[in-house]
Amino acid sequence: MNDIRVAAVQFENRDKDKAYNLGRIRDLTRTAVERGAQIVSFHECCIPAYSWMQGNDPAPLVESAEPVPDGPSVQELIKIAQEFNVIVMAGLIERENDKFYNAYVTVGPDGYITKFRKLHPFVNTNLSPGEEFNVIELLGWKIGFLICYDNNLVENPRITTMLGTQIIFAPHVTGCLPSVMPGRGTVDKKLWENRHRDPVRLRQEFLGPKGRGWLMRWLPSRAYENGVYYVFSNPIGWDFDTVKPGLAMIIDPYGEILVESQALEDDVVVGLLTPDKLENSSGQRYLKARRPELYQKLIEPQESITLSGWLEDK
């Protein structure tokens, strides 16, 4: 297994504007490739944007959804991958028959590779949950996927790792949301609009408990406890009704941040992922120490209810 260079990207998407968002994906893919990236990963549902779909009305999903892989957005992603000879990952709403899914698609110069459907959708009640994990081999590495809320349940990255994953791609739309947690909450839109004149105040918001401080409570732990690389992508800027903080980053199997963005704009970070950290990580040792005979409680049936604190708080 060879070293690999991976890019995590942040950009300010536009609601309902696939042409613009695909244009930014193309431009930022070029930037990532110029910096040596072999895989370029974008955030959750970045093609149509996402937060504007929240609620109980299926109309936004009907408006945005496409088949995978034959829809126009996936075909455009393939063109981008072919133009820059790179693997591209991006999110959209998939329609299959009468069901809608929050899907994350991977394509390369040779065409469509795979998709992953979010296991715990919640923004729109008409989204159906994915029914399986997905681990593939890509450039000699085992790659897994978990979308946003999926990463909040420790069972999901653990099982994804046990299926052989060495890199978990974790596209998000998160941060700076209403919350009852101390120090959390939204960011004033005026701070975003005034970011060039007063970057310090906005950066303080993004790096504090509303953004990076909250991520640091749990995201590095997912990498550390499983001994895998984590690739976090997230939008930045105005997103329907809140400001998102970006903070694109890659975390190594020790739970240390390899690269991260603190830019107050669209940005690309590229990290070098090396096999030796997988072999030497504590998480890989912990996997071998498991005692499954004690874990029957984990597999007792229960009704699964995906709740988001920020939607309930609004």
The pLDDT score that the predictor gives to residue 312 is 57
User: What residues pair up with 32 in beta bridges, in sequence order?
Assistant: none
Domain count, the chain: 1
Report the mean per-residue pLDDT for the chain: 96
The pLDDT score that the predictor gives to residue 66 is 98
DSSP per-residue codes, 23-90: HHHHHHHHHHHHTT-SEEE--TTTTT-SGGG-BS-SHHHHHH-B-TTTSHHHHHHHHHHHHHTSEEEE
What are the structure tokens assigned to 150, written together?
């999926």
Model confidence at 65, in pLDDT bands (50, 70, 90)?
Answer: very high
The pLDDT score that the predictor gives to residue 311 is 62
Contact in structure between 233 and 265 (CB atoms under 8 Å): no
pLDDT over 90, % of the chain:
96
Residues 196-224: pLDDT tens digits? 999 999 999 999 999 999 999 999 999 99
Residues 243-279: pLDDT tens digits? 999 999 999 999 999 999 999 999 999 999 999 999 9
Q: Residue 65 is part of a domain; what is its CATH number?
A: 3.60.110.10
Cα 144 to Cα 137: distance, rounded to the nearest angstrom: 9
Domain containing residue 199: 4-313
Q: Is the peptide bond before 69 cis (omega within 30 degrees of 0)?
A: yes
